[in-house]
Amino acid sequence: GLAGADRLLGSSSGPPGFGFTLRGDGDIDNNQYPDLIVGAFGVDKTVVYRSRPVVSVDAQLVLTPRVLNPDEKTCHLPDSDTMATCFRVDVCMRISGMGIPETVVLQAELQLDWLKQRGGVKRVLFRDSRLPQLSQSITLGQQDKHHCLNYTVFLREEEEFRDKLTPISVALNYSLDQSSAYPGLSLRPVLDHYSKTFHQDQANILLDCGEDNMCIPDLKLSAVMDREELVIGDDNPLMLTINSANHGEGAYEAELHVLLPPEADYVGVERRREDLQRLNCEHRVENDTRVVVCDLGNPMVAGTNLFVGLRFTVQRLDDAGPHISFELQIHR
């Protein structure tokens, strides 16, 4: 097909003045589309550009339901006794166009949780294949210009992923199947330039955050040390007792970050005292900064009040000032 912005270039060995004459009001091959004849000055040959049939596609992608409750496991996974939370993906396509073939084959691709790229954990999978992507050939014709397919998708177990806040996006991308034969047509069809070949729809995981499903936590953080003075040349063991509380709605992916001063080294979580929680904490190096990261819950539900003891040694005091400081943050 020739769109208004197309440019037709003669070959480098072609006659000078290519495009001197144009005729575009005839249908030379009788395919219901006008063709273009291009000539050059003083040359007894012409070039014919024939228009290809144009297929217009109207596609729809719908997810049902759009809010997934992980506690409602009503969907049975095949070849197992496992029940899961599921939703339905409907793909509908309608074709139209003048002079299009008797049958048109579209190659459709569905990507689940497609915003999770570069190795991110896909939170949903197709029930039948247990894969996050699917390719499907869809054949449409004069007798079946509108066709719908549906698929069942399941939510993985909550312990298999952390992110419950980001919407779960499903993407549909389609194109004409280039391997299909079109008997009786000398030119292969093309997709309408204005057909939208990429569609997406989203579902959300139900959160413990009221009717609006929007979480507004109210986080509090405080800490005390078990010693006030440090001695140069000593190991200086100390424990930082940290209180993290949430007085608002659930805080998802909540983490306690403790940034260490240069003089301190992390020893571990205090596990002997029964009044302190045994959180999962790990030591990391982020941008040349040493930090201890503790998981506060996913979600850190309303009313949570955690006490954790983190043990350190403080040894490198020769060049230290009169004070050392630990910086505490809650990330979510």
Tens of pLDDT, residue by residue over 223-259, are: 999 998 888 889 999 999 999 999 988 888 889 999 9
Q: What's the Cα-to-Cα distance from 290 to each of 18, 22, 227, 293, 331, rounded to whole Å?
A: 70, 72, 22, 10, 16
Tens of pLDDT, residue by residue over 138-172, are: 988 766 778 899 999 999 998 898 888 889 999 99
302 touches 248 (CB < 8 A): yes
pTM above 0.75, yes or no: no
pLDDT at 5: 42
Quote the distance between the C-alpha of residue 51 and its chain's center.
38
Q: Which residues of the chain have pLDDT under 50?
A: 1-5
The C-alpha atoms of residue 118 and residue 53 are separated, in whole angstroms, by 39
293 contact partners, CB below 8 Å, separation of at least 6: 255, 256, 257, 258, 281, 282, 284
For tokens 């449409």, name the residue: 140
The C-alpha atoms of residue 331 and residue 132 are separated, in whole angstroms, by 29
pLDDT at 169: 95
Of 252, 329, 246, which is closest to residue 298 (Cα–Cα)?
252
Q: Domains in the chain, start-ordered, CATH in brackets?
A: 1-51 (no CATH), 54-205 (2.60.40.1460), 219-331 (2.60.40.1510)
pLDDT at 282: 93
Tens of pLDDT, residue by residue over 67-77, are: 898 888 999 99
